[in-house]
Structure 1
Amino acid sequence: MEFVITGDGSNTLYHPEIGEHYHSKHGALQESRHVFIEMGLNHFLREENTNEVSVLEVGFGTGLNFLLTADEAIKKSLQLRYCGIEAYPLATDVIFATGYNQFVQPATWDAFLRQYSAALKEGVEFSAAVSLKIAHEKLISFQSHDTFDVLYFDAFAAIHQPEMWTDESLAHICSFLKPGGVFVTYAITGNLKRSMKALGFTVEKAPGAPGKREMLRATKVG
């Protein structure tokens, strides 16, 4: 794998076996901030007016979504419980070479450097307000007694990783989302909209990150 500089100057990784980048080539940072922080986390917080939030991420990858979420939680004095699912965790030297330290507070980055390896084995107290666990397993094998407020679905595109986007996979992972919980992803297709509606979600088109006209956000009914 190799680092690629995206349109906003932030790095992403190209995965040659999958044939895809981990983030948008138009801008890794702006995609993560728009799709997951603004359209996911902050949307949920505006709707619920709470100071506690739990996030489940499919595709922990480079950790960019977590870093931005943790930083946002710390700045807003939120209690954050974060679980990322990653079947193929990146080596620590790759994680640390991303250059993402320039986009978050030094304390957030320093804690990530210290805790990444441990979080792959068990849940860790990332900070006084943030906990982190990285589930080293495939989506369909994931199990948890916990449920979550927000689900970041950041798998590789369906054309490259179709098994992640099947009705079975979506039903399994969405079972861990609380009623009223929010599902967000960078993608939007007819199949995905139909699948989410069949699972009992209210589906909406939201403005996409640069390079994409639209994205999907869905709220679990019940």
Structure 2
Amino acid sequence: MEFVTTGDGSATLYHPEVGEHYHSKHGALQESRHVFLHAGLQFFLEKSAKSEVSVLEVGFGTGLNFLLSADYALQQHIHLRYCGIEAFPLAEDLLFQTGYDRFVDPVIWQALEENYAAALQNEVQYSDGVRLAIAHQKVLSFASSEQFDVIYFDAFAAVHQPEMWTDETLAHVCQYLRPGGVFVTYAITGNLKRSMKALGFSIEKAPGAPGKREMLRAVKK
């Protein structure tokens, strides 16, 4: 693992075994904000006018998507329940070297430092109005009695992890999304669009983050 500075000055990690970076080389921070926070969480909240929201993330990784979502929830006085699925969690010492503390309220960052290890075991009350759980397992082993409002699908690209983008994996994940819920990912391919349509989603080609022309947003009918 090695840190790489991306186009917007924020850091990402390069995973040598997978052969890919955790975030876009064009800008880790701006990709996370654009694809997941703006096109996912904020989009859902604007159309639903809810004050409570739940997010399921496939690929917790460096925690950047969670940090930005928790920071936004804190600012907007929204109750957030967040569950990340991560088969290979980063070690604490590596996670805390990302420098993402520069982009969120200090309360949010400190809470991650204090609760990351515990969240890998059970859901924790992360901060006022925010709960966090990290499911330390492979995605097809994930099971929950809960339903979620938004899915952040942030797996490594299909060229490196094709098993994460199969019909089986997508169907397994999307069963936990409520009707009217929003699925967002940085990718958009013909196969992905066909899979999501077959699962009963209306799909949209949304503008992509820098470096990508388009991304996929889908709403469960």
Identical columns (%)? 71
TM-superposed CA distance for 1:82, in Å, is 0.2
Question: Could you tell me which residue of structure 1 aligns to residue 60 of structure 2?
Answer: 60
Question: Could you tell me which residue of structure 2 aligns to residue 155 of structure 1?
Answer: 155
Instruction: Please state whether the residue corresponding to 2:81 is helix, strand or coil.
Output: strand
Q: TM-score, normalised by structure 1?
A: 0.99
Give 1:101-180 correspondences, 5 Å limit. Answer: 101-180=101-180
Distance 2:44 2:122 in 1: 27
Distance 1:205 1:66 in 2: 24
Deviations 1:152-194 (A, max 9, x none): 0000000000000000000000000000000000000000000
* Structure 1 residue ranges (4+ consecutive) displaced by more than 3 angstroms after TM superposition: none
Question: Could you tell me which residue of structure 2 aligns to residue 80 of structure 1?
Answer: 80
Distance 1:185 1:61 in 2: 15
Question: Could you tell me which residue of structure 1 aligns to residue 34 of structure 2?
Answer: 34
Distance 1:39 1:128 in 2: 24
Q: TM-score, normalised by structure 2?
A: 1.00
Distance 1:92 1:147 in 2: 29
Distance 1:106 1:36 in 2: 21
Alignment of 1:198 with 2:198, yes or no, is yes
Question: Could you tell me which residue of structure 1 aligns to residue 90 of structure 2?
Answer: 90
Question: What is the RMSD of the two structures over their aligned residues, measured on CA atoms?
Answer: 0.3
Distance 2:63 2:128 in 1: 19
Gaps of 5+ in 2: none
TM-superposed CA distance for 1:41, in Å, is 0.3
Gaps of 5+ in 1: none
